[in-house]
């Protein structure tokens, strides 16, 4: 995983875990996850990053609403009142009420609307990219939980085998067929296997807690094994991260257009209603006036905003170019890792089969009195390790395939 992708993933992980802690008091009892897609959606909803994206979407919608208004800025009301009460007190009075409406500059309204629409599209793309990063965390945690469950199952199976063997050895010791030292060795192996089972259960409990904090579910989904990328799948423009980067470039261009269309403050149309009375007892005279206030602007005012917009656009373009190279490298690496995991699984499967057959033969020889107990214990231990390695490699292959899905940008 590339450095920028790791940084994003770490940010999403921090957001997911913080959101999970904030929601823990209000979260009902964990339920089993039905599908991997359910787990990804749950993890995304629980993340703080989802709240940030939702805020970005609301901000974009507010910008579009503002760009659709008939005026560039909120209108203002003016009220003037003059009297000679503190001077001659002849009854002179002037009252003026005015409304100032900021007007759109030529092309400014369309540029602002286009910028708001581009920001909304970028926010939606950021949500898809965030969901993909949440999927990476869910896939890693799900396969980790699956592996720990397999470890517990294998340890429990080993305990059962050694318990039956210890009972058989004690029976034969009582019958005088075996020495007391064999019973002690068999019981010691059983205790060691029991301790291993306890340790595996503790690790599984920790994995369940992490999984539950991430998704709110109590167990891994049932469709993990079904996730596999097509053999001919390649990195395409539909990748959420690439789409987000592409829309980031478009947003930068639209913002630059909006800045260039807003080279000066908005002109204002002013309408006034005036009432005059020259002296006490004289009739009041009403009049209506209109005006246009045009702010004077220079390039110095707009230069910093334009420079910031150009810098944002250049950064978005550089990010998109670098991201393509990095994502393609991740796809190549993930595809090679999945192929190597498949080959390793075939080797581990054959090795496990051989070790099981060897242990079975030695067990029959032991029951016939032809093989000592220590050799049988070693054979059973070797077979158990081979079986554990097989299940670990099976989980490793599933995770490698999930990582290839992730690198290709395929959501569950």
Ordered by where they begin, the domains of the chain are 3-69+108-263+303-408 (1.20.1600.10)
**Per-residue pLDDT, 12:** 40
Cα(238)–Cα(132) distance, integer angstroms: 12
Stretch 286-292: mean pLDDT: 89
pLDDT at 230 over 90: no
At 158-197, the pLDDT tens digits run: 999 899 888 988 988 888 888 889 889 989 999 999 999 9
Alpha helices for 216-298 (secondary structure H): 240-261
Find out whether 50 and 41 touch, Cβ atoms under 8 Å. Answer: no
Structure confidence at residue 205 as a pLDDT band (50, 70, 90): very high
pLDDT at 25 over 50: no
Average pLDDT, the chain: 84
Structure confidence at residue 81 as a pLDDT band (50, 70, 90): confident
Stretch 260-287: mean pLDDT: 83
Structure confidence at residue 13 as a pLDDT band (50, 70, 90): very low
State what percent of residues in the chain have pLDDT above 70. 89
Rg (CA), the chain: 37
Q: Phi and psi of 216, rounded to 5°?
A: 85, 0
Cα(275)–Cα(95) distance, integer angstroms: 5
Q: Could you tell me the CA-to-CA distances from 192 to 5, 181, 196 in Å, in that order?
A: 42, 17, 6
Structure confidence at residue 347 as a pLDDT band (50, 70, 90): very high
Stretch 62-81: mean pLDDT: 87
- Region label for 107, one of left (φ > 0), alpha (ψ between -120 and 50) or beta (otherwise): left
Structure confidence at residue 8 as a pLDDT band (50, 70, 90): very low
Decide which of 230 and 402 is more confident: 402
Candidates 285, 259, 287; CA nearest to 272 is 287
pLDDT at 15 over 70: no
**Per-residue pLDDT, 94:** 87
What is the sign of the dihedral through the CA atoms of 213, 217, 222 and 226?
negative
Structure confidence at residue 345 as a pLDDT band (50, 70, 90): very high
**Per-residue pLDDT, 43:** 92
Find out whether 389 and 201 touch, Cβ atoms under 8 Å. Answer: no
State what percent of residues in the chain have pLDDT above 90. 40
Cα(22)–Cα(131) distance, integer angstroms: 19
**Per-residue pLDDT, 11:** 44
At 363-409, the pLDDT tens digits run: 899 888 888 888 888 898 899 889 989 989 998 999 999 999 999 99
Q: Could you tell me the CA-to-CA distances from 288 to 95, 127, 274, 409 in Å, in that order?
A: 12, 53, 6, 64
Stretch 56-80: mean pLDDT: 88
Cα(28)–Cα(207) distance, integer angstroms: 19
Burial class from Cβ neighbours inside 10 Å (0-12, 13-18, 19+) for residue 363 reads middle
**Per-residue pLDDT, 264:** 78
Three-state DSSP state, 95: strand
**Per-residue pLDDT, 297:** 66
Cα(62)–Cα(64) distance, integer angstroms: 5
Which residues, including other chains, have CB under 8 Å from residue 134's CB and lie 6 or more apart? 12, 16, 40, 43, 44, 47, 49
Structure confidence at residue 129 as a pLDDT band (50, 70, 90): very high
Q: Tell me which H or E stretch contains 285.
A: strand 285-293
Stretch 254-280: mean pLDDT: 84
Stretch 96-125: mean pLDDT: 90
Q: Phi and psi of 167, rounded to 5°?
A: -65, -40
Find out whether 230 and 236 touch, Cβ atoms under 8 Å. Answer: no
Cα(358)–Cα(384) distance, integer angstroms: 12
Structure confidence at residue 72 as a pLDDT band (50, 70, 90): confident
Cα(136)–Cα(140) distance, integer angstroms: 6
Find out whether 64 and 116 touch, Cβ atoms under 8 Å. Answer: yes
């Amino acid at each position: 995983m590339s450095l920028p992708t790791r940084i994003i993933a770490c940010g999403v992980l921090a957001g997911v875990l913080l959101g999970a802690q904030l929601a823990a008091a209000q979260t009902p009892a964990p339920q089993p996850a039905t599908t991997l897609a359910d787990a990804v959606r749950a993890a995304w909803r629980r993340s703080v990053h989802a709240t940030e994206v939702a805020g970005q979407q609301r901000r974009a919608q507010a910008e579009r609403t503002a760009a659709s208004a008939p005026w560039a800025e909120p209108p203002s009301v003016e009220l003037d009142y003059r009297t000679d009460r503190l001077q001659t007190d002849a009854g002179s009075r002037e009252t003026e009420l005015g409304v100032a409406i900021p007007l759109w500059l030529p092309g400014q309204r369309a540029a602002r609307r286009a910028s708001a629409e581009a920001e909304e599209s970028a926010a939606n793309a950021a949500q898809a990219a965030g969901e993909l990063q949440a999927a990476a965390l869910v896939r890693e945690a799900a396969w980790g939980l699956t592996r720990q469950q397999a470890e517990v199952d294998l340890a429990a199976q080993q305990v059962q085998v050694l318990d039956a063997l210890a009972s058989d050895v004690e029976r034969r010791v009582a019958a005088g067929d075996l020495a007391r030292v064999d019973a002690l060795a068999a019981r010691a192996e059983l205790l060691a296997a029991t301790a291993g089972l306890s340790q595996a259960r503790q690790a599984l409990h920790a994995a369940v807690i992490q999984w539950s904090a991430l998704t709110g579910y109590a167990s891994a989904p049932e469709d993990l094994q079904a996730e596999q990328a097509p053999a001919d799948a390649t990195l395409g423009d539909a990748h959420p991260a690439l789409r987000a980067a592409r829309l980031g470039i478009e947003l930068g261009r639209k913002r630059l257009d909006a800045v260039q269309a807003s080279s000066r403050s908005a002109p204002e149309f002013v309408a006034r209603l005036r009432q005059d009375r020259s002296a006490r007892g004289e009739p009041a005279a009403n009049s209506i006036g209109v005006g246009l206030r045009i702010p004077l602007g220079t390039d110095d005012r707009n230069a910093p905003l334009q420079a910031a917009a150009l810098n944002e656009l250049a950064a978005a373009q550089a990010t998109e170019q670098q991201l393509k190279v990095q994502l393609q490298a991740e796809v190549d690496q993930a595809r090679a890792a999945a192929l190597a995991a498949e080959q390793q699984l075939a080797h581990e499967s054959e090795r496990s089969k051989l070790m099981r057959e060897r242990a079975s033969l030695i067990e029959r020889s032991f029951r016939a009195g032809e093989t000592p107990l220590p050799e049988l214990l070693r054979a059973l231990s070797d077979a158990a390790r081979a079986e554990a390695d097989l299940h670990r490699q099976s989980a490793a292959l599933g995770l490698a395939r999930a990582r290839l899905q992730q690198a290709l940008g395929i959501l569950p």
